[in-house]
Structure 1
Amino acid sequence: MPHSYIKRILDARVYDVARETPVDEAMLMSRRLGNQVWLKREDLQPVFSFKLRGAYNKMQKLTPEQLACGVVAASAGNHAQGLAMAAQRMGVKATIVMPRTTPAIKVDAVRNRGAKVVLQGDSFEDASLYAQKLVTEKSMVYVHPFDDPDVIAGQGTVGMEIVRQHQRPLDAIFVPVGGGGLLAGVAAYVKYVWPQTRIIGVEPADAACLQLALERGRRAVLPEVGLFADGCAVAQIGKEPFRVIRHTVDEVITAGTDEICAAIKDIFEDTRAIAEPAGALALAGLKKYVEHSGVQQQELLAIVSGANTNFDRLRYISERTEIGEQREAVISVTIPERPGSFRAFCGALGRRNITEFNYRYSDPGQALVFLGLSVVPGGGDLAELLADLQRQGYATEDMTDNEMAKLHIRYMVGGRAPPDLENEVVYRVEFPERPGALLKFLSGLGQRWNISMFHYRNHGAAYGRILAGIQVPRSERRQFREMLDAINYPYWEETANRAYQLYLGQSPERA
C-alpha cells in the first residue's frame, strides 16, 4: 500500500547532491486567479530538475558489486542529467540512452557530467529498448526514470519538503505527470500527512497516458505521443507509480500546447525563470482547475519540475503564449473589394490592438483578411467582437483553435491555387526534428505525384511540420495514403480544412 512509502521517503538519501528548494508565492498569478498560488521551485536544482533526487537515492541502494558494473538509463534528458551527476559524485560509470529528439541542451548537459551518451530512436520507448539491450549484453544496472520504488521515494522528498515548508494543509497540489514517479512519491507522502489536500496530476493533452489508464482501469500504451512537453512524453504510465496513484490521486487534468506556453510566461513573470514545457505543466493545470471549478481564496501549489529547454524553442513558445492565455484571437474576415473598405473595416475594429494582419486580393467582389488581435481573456470579448462585425455585414470565422491556421496558414496567406490546378490534396505531417527526417519524407513521395504546395517551418521544437499540396488523381488516393503509412510519420489530411479552402485552394468558381 502507499503507506509503505512513508519510511522509504523519510530514509531517502538525496541531500548529498540535491537541494531543498523553496516554495515561493506567485504574487501576480495569485492576484489574477483570486487564490493564493505557490510554486515549488524544482527548477533550482543543480541539474535544473527534480530528477536528481530519485536517481541518487536509487544509486545509494545499489551494492558495491552492482556499482562496479556501471549504470545505464533511458531518458529524454532530466533523469539522464540527474543520474549523470549522481554517478559522477559516486565515481561510477554511467551510460545514458537518449532519443534523437532530445533537446541539445540536455544532451550536452549529460555529457558535461561525464556520462556516455548514446542517441537511439525517436521516443523514450526506443531508447528504453536499447538500454535494456545494454543491460543484457554488458551486465550494467538499469536505473529506471520512474518505475522503481527507490526512485519514487527519492521524488517523494519533494512532497516531504512541501509539508515541512508550508506547515498547514494546502487545498490542492498540482503535479506534472510523465511516467508517474513524481506524482506517486508526492501523493503517497502528502496524502498520509494531509489527507484533506487534493492531489491533482497534470498531463500534456497529447501524452495523457495516466488518464488513459484510469479510464480503462489498467495501464495501456498510447498509439502516439506528442513531443512538445518532452519531459513528459511517455506512452505508458509506470506500473509501480500507477499502483500508488490509484489510491492517492484525486483528479487528472490535461493541458494543451497553448496552455503550457501561457504557463511558461506566467512563471517567468512571477520568478524571472524560464521553465521547460513539462516544468510549467502543473501550473497550466492549476489555472485550468481554477477556471473550471471557480474556486476562490484557496491555497494552491504547482510544482515547477524543470527548466531545461533549448533557447530557440522560446520563439515558438512566445508565438503560442497569447493564444494560450486567451489574450489573442485569430479570425478570418471577408470584406468588400472596393476603395475605402479596408479603412472602414479598421474603424469597425475600434481601438483594438492588431497583432497580425494578412491580406490578399481574392476576386473583384471581395477580399479575405487573416487577422490576429488582442482580446480580453474569458471568451466573452471575442464573441462580442464577432457578433458586432457580423451585425455590420462582415462574414467572420474564428480560427483561434484551428491548428493548421496557427501553424501554417498565417505564414502563407495569399497563395491561391491557379485555375488549371487539378486533383490537389493537402496533408499536414509531423516528424522528429533530426538530420535526414525531411529527406525521408520527400524520398517516400517518390516521383509518382507532383508537389503543388509545400511549407516547412522549423518551430524551434523537437519536431518539424510540413504542409504539402500534392496532385493525386482520385483513383490513386488509396495508394497515396498507403505510401504515407509506409513513411510512418503522423499525418492529417487537411483538404477540407476551412482555412485552406479560404486562402490557398481554388476559388469556388474554379474548383
Structure 2
Amino acid sequence: MTNAAVDDARDAMREIFPETPLQLNEHLSRRFGAEVWLKREDLSPVRSYKIRGAFNFFRKALREGSRDRVFVCASAGNHAQGFAFVCRHFQVHGVVFMPVTTPQQKIDKTRMFGGPFITIRLIGDIFDQCYAAARAHVEEIGGAMVPPFDHADIIEGQATVASEVQAQLPDGVRPDLVIMPVGGGGLSSGMTGYLEPSLGASAFLMVEPAGAPSLKESLKAGRAITLSKVDNFVDGAAVARLGDLNFEALKHFSESQVMAVPENAICVTITEMLNIEGVVLEPAGALSLAALAALDPETVRGKTIVAVVSGGNFDFERLPDVKERAMRHAGLKKYYVLRLAQRPGALRDFLNLLGPEDDIARFEYLKKSARNFGSILIGIETGRPENFADLLARFDAAGLGYQDITDNEILANLVI
C-alpha cells in the first residue's frame, strides 16, 4: 500500500459518496481541555467506514474481469451494509453471511442497501462462525470472497479515512493523537500505514472492547492468536482473531498503545453522546470516545486529537440495556439481595433507610429462606455514586443483612 494508491482510491470513492466530515467538537474539547476532532464515519451512506474497503475491493476485482462471479462476505453488520451498497452500485450479485445474533436493524438495512442484488444467510452466534460458513460457500460455488479486513485492497480502502483526515485538517494543524476502533484491524492497519511516516508510531491509540481484545492479546503473544471466548455486545468489533495481514501491519506497536474498554463504559459514552450531542452511536462507534474518557486527563490536555467515530447503526431496542449498563458503570445503580425480617413493619423500616436521592428501580421477593426471614432482590438508582456508601452505612447500623450482586456477572445475569 502506498499513499498515492490510497489517494487514488479516495478520489474514486467520490462516485458513490462525498467525504465524511472532520468536525471540531466543542463539547469534548471543553471537557478534556484539548482540541478534539471527530472523523464522522457514522455519516457515510452506511453509517460506518466499511463501505470504503468494500468499494475498493470491488472496483479492483471488476477491473480485472470478475463481474460474472458471485461475491460473498461475512459480517456482523457494518461490512455487510457496505458490501450490499457496493453490490447494488456495481449491479453484481452478492451473498451475505451474518451471525444469528446480529441486531435486526442491521439485517434490515443490509437488505435495503442491496435490494435484489444480495441474499442474506444467518449462520452462527459470532462472526468467526459465519465467516467459516462463508468461506465454505465460496469454495462450493467458486465465488469471490470479500473479506471484512484481512485483504490488501480492503486495508487500502479503509486507509482513505486517513487520507481525508490529512486533507481536512486546517493548515498547520497536526494531530498529537489519533484514536481508532479495532475489530479485525482493517481500519487501524490502513490508517497507521498512511499516517505513521508523518506522525510517528507513538501518535496512535487503538481501542478494542474488553470482551474481544484480539489485538492486545496478539501483541502480548507476539503473534496473531484466536481468543477462546468473545463478548459480542460490541458486535461491530467483537472479533476472535485479528487478520493476519493486519497483525503484520500492527505488530510493531506497543501493547500499551491498545486500550481495552469495558462494555459498560462504552454504554456511558453512547448515552452521553446521544443526550448531549444528539449523535447516535452503536457500541463499536463509541469505542474511540470511550477510550478518550478513560485516558489520564493530563495526558490529553492541550493536545490535538483526532478520534474516528464509526458506526451509527444503533438498534434502539437495545437502549434500555445500554442505559442499564451505563448507570451500573457510573455507579448510579446497584443491585442487592436483602435478608429481610418477615414481620409487620419490616419493609417500612427498610424504606426509611433510603436517602433523598435513592429510588427503587426493582423489587422482587425471591423465596422464604427461613421461618423468620425472606430474601428480596432490589435495584436502587441514585443521583450520585457516593450515596451508596452512606446507604450501606445505614444498612450496617440497622443490622440489615445484604449482598451486593451488581458486579457478580454470573449471579447478576441469572436474576437481573
Deviation at 1:52, TM superposition (A): 0.3
Q: For residue 176 of structure 1, what is the aligned residue in structure 2?
A: 181
Q: Tell me whether 1:246 sits opposite 2:245 in the alignment.
A: no
Alignment match, 1:86:
86
Q: 1:14·1:154 contact (CA, 8 Å) conserved in 2?
A: no
Determine the C-alpha separation between the residues in 2 that align with 1:374 and 1:30. Answer: 29
Tell me which residue corresponds to 1:157. Answer: 160
* 1:219 maps to which of 224, 227, 252: 224
Question: Is contact 1:375–1:382 with CA below 8 Å preserved after alignment?
Answer: no
1:289 to partner: Cα distance: 2.3
Contact persistence 1:18–1:53 (CA under 8 A)? no
User: What root-mean-square deviation, in Å, do the aligned CA atoms of Structure 1 and Structure 2 show?
Assistant: 2.8
Work out whether residues 159 and 189 of structure 1, in 8 Å CA contact, stay in contact via their aligned partners in 2: yes
Q: Do the aligned partners of residues 340 and 406 (structure 1) sit closer, same or farther apart at CA in structure 2, a change above 3 Å counting?
A: same
Please, which runs of 5 or more residues in structure 2 have no aligned partner? none
Match of 1:55 in 2: 54
Bigger shift: 174-183 or 162-171? 162-171
| 3-state DSSP of counterpart to 2:107 | helix
2:269 — aligned with what? 263
- Aligned match of 2:7: 10
Measured after TM superposition, the shift of residue 247 of structure 1 is 2.9
Residue 330 of structure 2 aligns with which residue? Answer: 325
Larger Rg: 1
- In 2, are the aligned partners of 1:39 and 1:302 still within 8 Å (CA)? yes
TM-score computed with the length of structure 1 as normaliser: 0.71
Inter-partner Cα distance in structure 2 for 1:406 and 1:27? 38
Matched, 1:274 2:277: no
Unaligned runs of 5+ in 1: 411-511
CA distance in 1, matches of 2:405, 2:34: 32
> 2-side partners of 1:103 and 1:357: how far apart?
27
- TM-score normalised by L of structure 2: 0.86
Per-residue deviation at 1:297?
A: 4.2
Post-superposition offset of 1:332:
4.1
Task: Indicate how the Cα distance of structure 1 residues 274 and 180 shifts in structure 2: closer, same or farther if over 3 A, else same.
Answer: same
Trace 1:410-449 onto structure 2 (pairs within 5 A): 410=416
Q: 1:77 to 1:357 in 2, by over 3 A?
A: closer
Return the letter of the residue paired with 1:47: V
Shift of 1:140: 2.0
Aligned pairs (5 A) from 1:365-404: 365-366=372-373, 368-369=375-376, 370-376=378-384, 382-383=388-389, 385-387=391-393, 389-391=395-397, 393-404=399-410
**Cα distance in 1 between the residues matched to 2:72 and 2:134:** 7
Q: CA offsets per residue over residues 255-295 of structure 1, 9 Å max, x none?
A: 2221122221122124323211211122222222247x775
Once the 2 structures are TM-superposed, how far is the Cα of residue 54 of structure 1 from its aligned partner?
A: 0.7
Kept in 1: contact 2:355–2:391 (CA 8 A) = no
| CA displacement, residues 172-199 of structure 1 (integer Å, 9 cap, x when unaligned) | 2221111100111122223222227631
Q: Determine the C-alpha separation between the residues in 1 that align with 2:260 and 2:70.
A: 37
SS of 1:349's partner is: coil
Q: Deviations for 1:67-113, whole angstroms, at most 9, x for unmatched residues?
A: 33232212222111112211221222222222222222222222221
User: In the superposition, relative to structure 1, how do residues 46 and 396 fare at CA in structure 2: closer, same or farther (>3 Å)?
Assistant: same
Query: 1:48 Cα deviation (Å)?
Result: 1.4
Q: Distance in 2 between matches of 1:24 and 1:355?
A: 41
- Does the 8 A contact of 1:337 with 1:363 survive in 2? no
Aligned mates of 2:389, 2:176 — CA distance in 1: 34
Given the alignment of the two structures, is residue 201 of structure 1 paired with residue 206 of structure 2, yes or no?
A: yes
Contact 2:99-2:123 at 8 Å conserved across structures: yes
**Shift of the alpha carbon at 1:43?**
1.1
Q: How does 1:141-152 map to 2 (within 5 A)?
A: 141-152=144-155
Q: Which has the higher contact order (CA 8 A, sep 6+)?
A: 2
The number of aligned residues is 404
In structure 2, relative to structure 1, the CA distance for the partners of 1:346 and 1:297 (3 Å cut) is farther
- Tell which deviates more after alignment, 338-347 or 150-159: 338-347
- Corresponding residue number in structure 2 for 1:443: none
User: Is the 8 Å Cα contact of residues 13 and 55 (structure 2) preserved in structure 1?
Assistant: yes
Q: Quick one: structure 1 residues 214 and 363, their matched pair in 2 at CA, closer, same or farther if it must change by over 3 Å?
A: same
Instruction: Tell me, in whole angstroms, the C-alpha distance in 2 between the residues paired with 1:343 and 1:30.
Output: 48
- In the alignment, the residues of structure 1 paired with residue 373 and residue 140 of structure 2 have an alpha-carbon distance, to the nearest angstrom, of 69
1 CA distance for matches of 2:80 and 2:382? 41
Q: 1:92–1:238: structure 2 CA closer, same or farther, 3 Å change rule?
A: same
State the alpha-carbon separation in 2 of the partners of residues 402 and 77 from structure 1: 30
Deviations 1:319-363 (A, max 9, x none): 222113333233444555555554444443321231424254765
